[in-house]
Amino acid sequence: MERKQGFFSALKEEVVRGLSPARSRSKSPGRSGSPMSGLLRRRRHRHVTNPEALIGRSGSLTPLMEGPDPDGGEVGDSKRVGLGQWVKGQLSRAPSVVSSAYRRSDLRLLLGVMGAPLAPVHVSTNDPLPHLSIKDTPIETSSAQYILQQYTAASGGQRLQNSIRNAYAMGKVKMLACEFETAGRVMKNRHLARDTESGGFVLWQMNPDMWYVELAVGGSKVHAGCNGKLVWRHAPWLGAHTAKGPVRPLRRAIQGLDPRTTASMFVDARCIGEKKINGEDCFILKLCADPQTLKLRSEGPAEITRHVLFGYFSQKTGLLVHMEDSHLTRIQSIGGDAVYWETTINSSLDDYRPVEGIMIAHSGHSVVTLFRFGEMAMSHTKTRMQEAWTIEEVAFNVPGLSIDCFIPPADLRSGSISEVCELPQEERGKSVIALAAHRAKVAALEKDYDDNIDGMVWKMEI
């Protein structure tokens, strides 16, 4: 019987052939080949005696296509499934019937929200941690500084962390839309095993403030990156677009993979108390995005009104064991009431093990809640999703990694809507129309009527 090729085996072969942080942006100026293929060949010969035992894993995924969805998911396609249609399908379909159209809609919702979310604030790994100060410092701030000092020491120490120039991680993920709720009904997914989407991801990081991630799940791939100056993301059904606001770290990196960035993230946090998490006593650090950052992330009718991050640090080990991330988006449609979207991500970090002296969380689990309210007093929807991940391989100071691996795509579109891109299709379409009207009004004040209006409209598509 022919042996099925595992996902990580296929991934390794593609990497060796040239699939790297550079491949998906091969059309960019100044790029010829992938620097990763020779790099990984050198690492395999020098450090690994049996590469198949290290990278080849059980389970299988078909090699993925880049570009538009072959089932008709291109930008502007009339076959897109909006939130209303998705809800209707979830409530009406028989349990024994699985519709591929709705499965695609579920997967896009999962990848849109959980694929590559960003941390709430800008962080630079070049900035040193502040010295512990007690005099003339509020107790909440000095306590947070002490907790971060303990976390840094427990994670491997500041000197060792500062010696890391770049990092690489590879892992497996499983995603599932598990529950949907309206004002009058709650529907839970009774076919968890069947509807779970499996896949994997590869993450590259490099100082200062550069990262690139590819996430392949259920036949679709999302990749995102940052070259230190801008953050971009690409999905087959959206194309490539930039993120609004300042450069921010990838949330997946601070889920136990990058202690130095995590400590820098909570530099301005406050200690607000203690709580038991899975039977373990933890200190709670609270970090809020400042109004200026929220304003830069907002545009037109889509306004980010709040983004808060809670970090739970174990009193026993000093390590980060849980994170809660919540942000609220207000969307004002033309001639209608404002609609609010609250996105909450709760992540548990487990199985800490040392890698070259750095403590890395090798598994974790996230529960994501999308809560939509506004319009009418009794009208709301709530969607719960889950993600579980395991880390298969981590390496630091990978030789040959260069800034060429973090060049944005050549077809990158500017002026796109960062947070709204994570929302379901129907709501996103409404906000794009409202944003078009908003930009048209602004342009009318700055330019003559005879200017090229079509050019502005093209920029507003996502």
Indicate the domain borders of the chain: 64-82+100-435
pLDDT at 117: 93
Question: First-to-last CA distance in the chain?
Answer: 45
Please state, in angstroms and rounded to a whole number, the distance separating the CA atoms of residues 194 and 176: 10
Q: Which of 60, 91, 117 is nearest to 189 (CA)?
A: 91
Cα 302 to its chain centre, rounded Å, is: 19
Phi-psi region of 47 (alpha: psi -120 to 50; beta: other; left: phi over 0): alpha
Beta bridge mates, 353:
360
Q: What is the DSSP string of 346-406?
A: EEEEEEEEEETTEEEEEEEEEEEEEEEEESSTT-EEEEEEEEEEEEEEEEES-TT--GGGG
Full-model pTM = 0.71
Q: Please, what are the averages of pLDDT over each run of 10 residues along the chain (462 residues)? A: 50 48 47 43 43 38 35 38 47 44 71 91 76 76 93 95 95 89 77 82 95 93 93 89 91 96 93 95 96 90 93 98 95 83 96 97 96 75 93 96 91 57 51 44 40 33 28
Beta bridge mates, 210:
206, 227
Three-class HEC string of 277-328? ECCEEEEEEEEECCHHHHHHHCECCEEEEEEEEEEEEECCCCCEEEEEEEEE
> Is domain 64-82+100-435 classified as CATH 1.10.1060.10?
no
Q: Which of 120, 374, 348, 83 is nearest to 246 (CA)?
A: 120
Q: Which of 360, 299, 361 is nearest to 330 (CA)?
A: 299
**What are 346's two structure tokens?**
């709760």
Instruction: Look at the alpha carbons of 148, 153, 154, 158 in this order and tell me if their dihedral is positive or negative.
Output: positive
Beta bridge mates, 76:
none
Q: Which of 271, 193, 184, 220 is nearest to 68 (CA)?
A: 220
Please state, in angstroms and rounded to a whole number, the distance separating the CA atoms of residues 453 and 462: 17
Give residues with Cβ within 8 angstroms of 416, minimum separation 6. Answer: 241, 242, 243, 244, 462
Please state, in angstroms and rounded to a whole number, the distance separating the CA atoms of residues 436 and 459: 9
Distances in Å between the Cα of 251 and the Cα atoms of 83, 113, 437 are 25, 12, 32
Contact 422, 112 (CB under 8 A): yes
Phi-psi region of 320 (alpha: psi -120 to 50; beta: other; left: phi over 0): beta
What single DSSP character describes residue 450? T
Give residues with Cβ within 8 angstroms of 118, minimum separation 6. Answer: 231, 243, 248, 249, 250, 251
Please state, in angstroms and rounded to a whole number, the distance separating the CA atoms of residues 388 and 409: 29
HSE on the CB side for 220, CA within 13 Å? Answer: 27
pLDDT at 363: 98
